[in-house]
Amino acid sequence: MDAEFDAVCSLLGGEAGVRGGNEFRVMRSGIGKVNAASRCTEFILRESPDCIISSGCAGGLDPSVGLLDAVVADECCYHDVWCGEPNAPGQVQGMPQRFICDRRLRSLAVSAAKGMRVHTGPVCSGDRFCTDPREIDAIRTLLPDAIAIDMESCALAQVCYMYGVPFVSVRIISDTVAAEGKDRFAQYKDFWSDVAGKSFAVLESLICTMPHSL
């Protein structure tokens, strides 16, 4: 996450500022659902943001999603939550099974990813970095329409849902289903050492082209 934070701040010129007439603040969430949820809550209460954009990397779940492709989530769900019947798999009791990302932010994010292959679809989250092909297959069976997997997006989406803050997750694919086991983790390590900074340029474009009010 340090590499991601540094890459984003380098692109934007710091942790806070104005780009394209829009004021921004960068928050480092840390890895995993609890880190993401707690930092997001703190950020909303302190900054009262107009919206929250999650920028990071994700693993590909759908075979059509390739290394360094951009994924714009249309909804976020959990792959590691089970509260018992009558709840659906991935549903926190009392919450939706899936959290819908803001439609306008989604459209802006897709437009901002110029020159990149862009996919839209569900992104699922859980507190595991998944490399075992059997585990990947189980998640794809549970959530057959999910196109990518990460460790934070759904926790952020849930907090934003609770506070009524527009949200979208924009992720760059760091590892794919084509690589298995250790090869998948090797893809992930190469992503951070070689191309992370360039990959987050979509975030800069999105902030610069957003309207001044949503």
At what angle are helices 2-12 and 201-209 packed, to 10 degrees? 40
Q: Do 165 and 48 form a contact (C-beta atoms < 8 A)?
A: no
Q: Can you give the pLDDT of all 214 residues of the chain as single tens digits? A: 566 666 666 666 667 677 778 788 888 888 899 999 999 999 999 999 999 999 888 888 988 998 888 999 999 999 999 999 999 989 999 999 999 999 999 999 999 888 889 999 999 999 988 777 888 889 999 999 999 999 999 999 999 999 999 999 999 888 776 666 557 666 766 666 655 565 577 777 888 787 777 6
Query: Rounded distance, CA 202 to CA 39, Å?
Result: 23
Query: Rounded distance, CA 158 to CA 154, Å?
Result: 6
Cα separations (Å) of 49 from 39, 107, 118, 179?
A: 13, 19, 26, 38
Residue type at position 136? I
Q: Do 62 and 119 form a contact (C-beta atoms < 8 A)?
A: yes
At what angle are helices 153-163 and 33-47 packed, to 10 degrees? 30
User: What fold is seen in the domain 2-202?
Assistant: Rossmann fold (3.40.50)
* Cα 168 to the center of its chain, rounded Å: 8
Q: Where are the domains of the chain?
A: 2-202
Query: Rounded distance, CA 36 to CA 41, Å?
Result: 9
Beta-carbon contacts of 94 under 8 Å, excluding residues fewer than 6 positions away, are: none
Range 21-28, long-range pairs (CB < 8 A, 24+ positions): 21/212, 22/207, 22/208, 22/210, 22/212, 24/207, 25/49, 28/1, 28/2
Query: Rounded distance, CA 165 to CA 142, Å?
Result: 28
